[in-house]
Amino acid sequence: MALFRPKEKLQIFTDLNTDKLKEKGFDTVLLDIDNTIAVPDTGICDERAKAFIEKLKSEGFKVAIFSNNTKKRVKMFLNGMDVDYVYFALKPLPFQYWRACLMLKSKPEKTVVLGDQLLTDITGANLSGCYGIYCKQLMEKDTPMTSVNRQVEKLIWRYILNDKV
Protein backbone atom coordinates (compact mmCIF):
# COMPACT_ATOMS: atom_id res chain seq x y z
CA MET A 1 0.00 0.00 0.00
CA ALA A 2 1.54 3.27 -1.18
CA LEU A 3 0.30 5.25 1.82
CA PHE A 4 2.79 3.53 4.15
CA ARG A 5 5.63 2.95 1.67
CA PRO A 6 8.74 5.09 2.10
CA LYS A 7 10.50 6.28 -1.05
CA GLU A 8 13.83 5.19 0.47
CA LYS A 9 15.14 3.43 3.57
CA LEU A 10 18.27 4.31 5.54
CA GLN A 11 20.09 2.50 8.33
CA ILE A 12 21.01 5.81 9.97
CA PHE A 13 20.30 9.47 9.19
CA THR A 14 23.92 10.20 8.25
CA ASP A 15 23.51 7.83 5.26
CA LEU A 16 21.30 10.43 3.54
CA ASN A 17 22.70 10.99 0.03
CA THR A 18 22.40 14.75 -0.43
CA ASP A 19 23.92 14.70 -3.92
CA LYS A 20 21.19 12.34 -5.09
CA LEU A 21 18.53 14.54 -3.48
CA LYS A 22 19.89 17.63 -5.27
CA GLU A 23 19.90 15.74 -8.58
CA LYS A 24 16.21 14.93 -8.03
CA GLY A 25 15.45 18.62 -7.43
CA PHE A 26 14.85 18.58 -3.67
CA ASP A 27 15.63 21.79 -1.79
CA THR A 28 14.10 21.24 1.66
CA VAL A 29 14.49 18.66 4.44
CA LEU A 30 12.12 18.20 7.37
CA LEU A 31 13.73 16.26 10.22
CA ASP A 32 12.01 14.30 12.95
CA ILE A 33 13.88 14.40 16.28
CA ASP A 34 13.40 11.42 18.59
CA ASN A 35 14.84 8.16 17.30
CA THR A 36 15.62 9.72 13.92
CA ILE A 37 18.45 12.20 14.57
CA ALA A 38 18.49 11.95 18.38
CA VAL A 39 18.14 9.29 21.01
CA PRO A 40 14.81 9.91 22.78
CA ASP A 41 14.88 12.01 25.95
CA THR A 42 18.55 12.92 25.63
CA GLY A 43 18.11 16.67 25.80
CA ILE A 44 20.02 18.87 23.42
CA CYS A 45 21.23 18.16 19.91
CA ASP A 46 24.41 16.07 20.00
CA GLU A 47 27.45 16.79 17.83
CA ARG A 48 26.59 14.18 15.17
CA ALA A 49 23.08 15.60 14.65
CA LYS A 50 24.38 19.17 14.77
CA ALA A 51 27.02 18.38 12.12
CA PHE A 52 24.34 16.70 9.96
CA ILE A 53 22.04 19.72 10.15
CA GLU A 54 24.90 22.11 9.40
CA LYS A 55 25.96 19.94 6.43
CA LEU A 56 22.45 20.09 4.98
CA LYS A 57 22.35 23.86 5.40
CA SER A 58 25.85 24.36 3.93
CA GLU A 59 24.81 22.33 0.88
CA GLY A 60 21.93 24.74 0.28
CA PHE A 61 19.03 22.80 1.75
CA LYS A 62 16.35 24.58 3.73
CA VAL A 63 16.05 22.63 6.98
CA ALA A 64 13.43 22.45 9.71
CA ILE A 65 12.89 20.25 12.71
CA PHE A 66 9.45 18.70 12.27
CA SER A 67 8.17 17.07 15.41
CA ASN A 68 5.03 15.96 17.22
CA ASN A 69 6.80 17.00 20.42
CA THR A 70 6.05 20.10 22.47
CA LYS A 71 7.62 23.48 21.79
CA LYS A 72 9.63 23.09 25.01
CA ARG A 73 11.15 19.77 23.84
CA VAL A 74 11.98 21.09 20.36
CA LYS A 75 13.56 24.29 21.71
CA MET A 76 15.53 22.28 24.28
CA PHE A 77 16.81 20.03 21.49
CA LEU A 78 17.85 22.97 19.31
CA ASN A 79 19.52 24.74 22.25
CA GLY A 80 19.80 28.04 20.38
CA MET A 81 20.74 26.58 16.97
CA ASP A 82 19.54 28.68 14.04
CA VAL A 83 17.08 26.16 12.61
CA ASP A 84 13.40 26.58 11.80
CA TYR A 85 11.00 24.22 13.50
CA VAL A 86 7.42 23.02 13.65
CA TYR A 87 6.30 21.49 16.93
CA PHE A 88 3.06 19.63 17.67
CA ALA A 89 3.03 18.77 13.96
CA LEU A 90 0.05 16.41 14.27
CA LYS A 91 1.75 13.87 12.02
CA PRO A 92 0.45 12.12 9.91
CA LEU A 93 -2.07 14.86 9.06
CA PRO A 94 -0.78 16.75 6.02
CA PHE A 95 -1.61 20.31 7.14
CA GLN A 96 1.56 21.01 9.10
CA TYR A 97 3.71 19.49 6.33
CA TRP A 98 2.19 22.07 3.96
CA ARG A 99 2.65 24.80 6.57
CA ALA A 100 6.34 23.85 6.92
CA CYS A 101 6.76 24.04 3.14
CA LEU A 102 5.18 27.51 3.10
CA MET A 103 7.32 28.62 6.02
CA LEU A 104 10.47 27.49 4.19
CA LYS A 105 9.29 28.84 0.82
CA SER A 106 9.30 25.42 -0.77
CA LYS A 107 6.79 22.98 -2.21
CA PRO A 108 5.89 19.47 -1.05
CA GLU A 109 7.29 17.92 -4.25
CA LYS A 110 10.68 19.51 -3.42
CA THR A 111 10.60 18.50 0.25
CA VAL A 112 12.14 15.45 1.91
CA VAL A 113 10.81 14.16 5.22
CA LEU A 114 13.25 12.06 7.23
CA GLY A 115 11.65 10.02 10.00
CA ASP A 116 11.68 6.73 11.88
CA GLN A 117 7.96 5.89 11.91
CA LEU A 118 5.75 4.64 9.09
CA LEU A 119 2.50 5.60 10.81
CA THR A 120 3.46 9.22 11.42
CA ASP A 121 6.43 10.50 9.41
CA ILE A 122 6.10 8.45 6.23
CA THR A 123 2.30 8.34 6.03
CA GLY A 124 2.20 12.12 6.54
CA ALA A 125 4.85 12.65 3.88
CA ASN A 126 2.85 10.57 1.42
CA LEU A 127 -0.44 12.30 2.27
CA SER A 128 1.11 15.75 1.82
CA GLY A 129 3.01 15.05 -1.39
CA CYS A 130 6.46 15.13 0.23
CA TYR A 131 9.22 12.56 -0.32
CA GLY A 132 9.31 10.32 2.77
CA ILE A 133 12.57 8.63 3.69
CA TYR A 134 12.42 6.04 6.44
CA CYS A 135 15.35 6.00 8.83
CA LYS A 136 15.78 3.02 11.12
CA GLN A 137 15.25 4.06 14.73
CA LEU A 138 18.42 4.88 16.68
CA MET A 139 17.36 2.92 19.78
CA GLU A 140 14.73 0.40 20.80
CA LYS A 141 13.60 2.87 23.50
CA ASP A 142 10.14 4.34 22.82
CA THR A 143 7.28 6.04 24.57
CA PRO A 144 4.28 3.78 25.33
CA MET A 145 2.29 5.18 22.38
CA THR A 146 5.21 4.79 19.98
CA SER A 147 5.68 1.20 21.21
CA VAL A 148 2.12 0.44 20.09
CA ASN A 149 2.82 2.09 16.73
CA ARG A 150 5.96 -0.04 16.30
CA GLN A 151 3.94 -3.23 16.74
CA VAL A 152 1.50 -2.11 14.05
CA GLU A 153 4.41 -1.07 11.83
CA LYS A 154 5.96 -4.55 12.08
CA LEU A 155 2.73 -5.95 10.64
CA ILE A 156 2.68 -3.32 7.90
CA TRP A 157 6.30 -4.03 6.93
CA ARG A 158 5.67 -7.76 6.83
CA TYR A 159 2.16 -8.16 5.42
CA ILE A 160 1.48 -5.01 3.42
CA LEU A 161 4.90 -3.86 2.23
CA ASN A 162 6.37 -7.39 2.05
CA ASP A 163 9.60 -5.98 3.41
CA LYS A 164 11.80 -6.04 6.46
CA VAL A 165 12.89 -3.03 8.48
Instruction: Give residue-wise pLDDT tens across range 6-59.
Output: 999 999 999 999 999 999 999 999 999 988 898 876 777 889 999 999 999 999
Q: pLDDT: is 42 or 157 the higher one?
A: 42
Taking every pair of C-alpha atoms in the chain, what is the biggest distance, in angstroms? Answer: 43
Instruction: Give residue-wise pLDDT tens across range 69-111.
Output: 999 999 999 988 999 999 999 999 999 999 999 999 999 999 9
Given this model, what pLDDT does residue 141 score? 64
Nearest alpha-carbon partner for 32 in 105, 130, 102: 130
Confidence tier at 2 by pLDDT (50, 70, 90): confident
Query: pTM score > 0.85 for this model?
Result: yes
Burial class (CB in 10 A: 0-12, 13-18, 19+), 159: exposed
DSSP string of 102-156?
A: HHTT--GGGEEEEES-IIIIIHHHHHHT-EEEEE--S-S---HHHHHHHHHHHHI
Beta-bridge partner residues of 66: 86
Given this model, what pLDDT does residue 132 score? 97
